[in-house]
Structure 1
Amino acid sequence: MTAHANELAVYVRGLRKQYGDVTAVDGIDLGIRRGEVFGLLGPNGAGKSTTVEILQGHRSRDAGEVSVLGADPAQGTRAWRSRVGIVWQDESAPAELTVAETVRHFARYYPRPRDPGEVIELVGLGPKADSRIKTLSGGQRRRLDVALGVIGGPELLLLDEPTTGFDPAARRQFWDLIRLLADEGTTILLTTHYLEEAESLAHRLAVVARGRLVAEGEPGELRERYGSGATVSWTEPDGAPRAEHTATPTRTVAELISRFDGEIPGLTVTRPTLEDVYLRLTEQETAR
């Protein structure tokens, strides 16, 4: 393994995983820097969850080189596992315990856990600390899953669709938690179907489709590299709406200025969003 690989929290080269005739992960390469928030995007069945499971040591790989916090997850010790937190898509804690009892119980598994009361407040469950888990809503249970993922004070946090079931206010509160953890130096790998979430949180993104990495870079870089042109919209003097897709929007606006006397009614210039880029990348790959 290279010296550069040792500087990364996650180093993956040529990762492959096969289930019978189905190739779930087909030669993925990843490098996640220590302290960064890294987003892994892709449609259902793209290989995201399988990749996360391999990184956590819950699933074996068929081929490839993998290092997580300097160790091979397939040979991870108990001490190594205590440094990695994870929030799966589907988790459930003992229904009869209260929120506080559950978080305190899980804290005992780690050598240097965060304060349980602080974590409960961080995920927005302070008012529910003494409530039994079976009485929580789906979104509140998801917050508890997040609390159990961060209680150990992990160096690396793996989040697999963590805000599924959150209402908009809870999702924004979760984003604040992720930013706080990142500011504290936690490395975070996030899989999500919410493009706004990925763009808001991640320093860099990777897009996977059919088990292959199809694009990687900063959100703005991906928009610039894979987005095509812009759409200029305006209203003609007779009230008819017009729109033109162009690679030179400034020139189009300049031409409109020469035609109109004063303001251009309804003028907007819209560039491709991250969602536009994501759909273009994944649809092209699926069509192959």
Structure 2
Amino acid sequence: MSPTTRLRGFGERLAGPGQPVYVVGEIGINHNGDLGNAFALIDAAADAGCDAVKFQKRTPEICTPRDQWHIERDTPWGRMTYIDYRHRVEFDEDAYRAIDAHCAERGIAWFASPWDTEALAFLEKFDLPAHKVASACLTDDELLRSLRATGRTVVLSTGMSTPKQIRHAVEVLGSDSILLCHATSTYPAKAEELNLRVINTLREEYPNVPIGYSGHETGLQTTLAAVALGAAFVERHITLDRAMWGSDQAASVEPGGLARLVRDIRTIETALGDGVKRVYDSELAPMKKLRRFRGQVPAAV
């Protein structure tokens, strides 16, 4: 198998073996329906060196169970029904046009997770590098077939899913243009439930598919461990402040942490090298000074 069979296109970038880790700042709905927050999060991701930011797009009447529509809840905008809240945190086309322009200005890509086929049709109005399947949507065959029909790269998160469900989703999507992400769908996820070695399991099960990691834990160490295990794609939720209102904020990374994460990912991928053992020129002086050859002639460098 040629390594090129596992490369996936994200606009002008490739993800997969031999390529830099594709790093995504997952904004999701952490913008709380505020375009200023979205711009600030895009800026934080661009400043940190992320390759892309990602949003979530839903059609509230489709994605919200009917029996929850009229349940009232307290929000930063007052007490409102759940269906009204779901509309409150969705951006319309004008807002996404502004997001598209701001990302272009900052030199960072964006894409989103459509949660239904209407949301996918909305996103197809834009020239996006990829689409993402949220773990919750992995069993939605209609959505998966529609995503496959776009011809774009599809990132498939595998949280809350069995191996059988994952295999079925891969069959529906086809393996030629997908990237699989190991994930644990708890917010925040416990370290003992991250099970990062599943990255290796997925790589063995799907040798022609790049494998990534979508993390919902607190802290950065375990995401860096995923990179060391060979994750070709990394996604973390990002926030301006973990104390902000919203269900995903506590499991998100603030701007300073995001900058450290990207910096350390780049250091790790450089340090991993190519796996070919060699003697470096920088080792020649220490070798001459420290090694006793005992009649053994040093091999040519």
| Bigger strand fraction | 1
TM over 0.5: no
* CA radius of gyration, larger in: 1
Q: Under a length normalisation based on structure 1, what TM-score does the superposition of the two structures give?
A: 0.34
Q: Under a length normalisation based on structure 2, what TM-score does the superposition of the two structures give?
A: 0.33
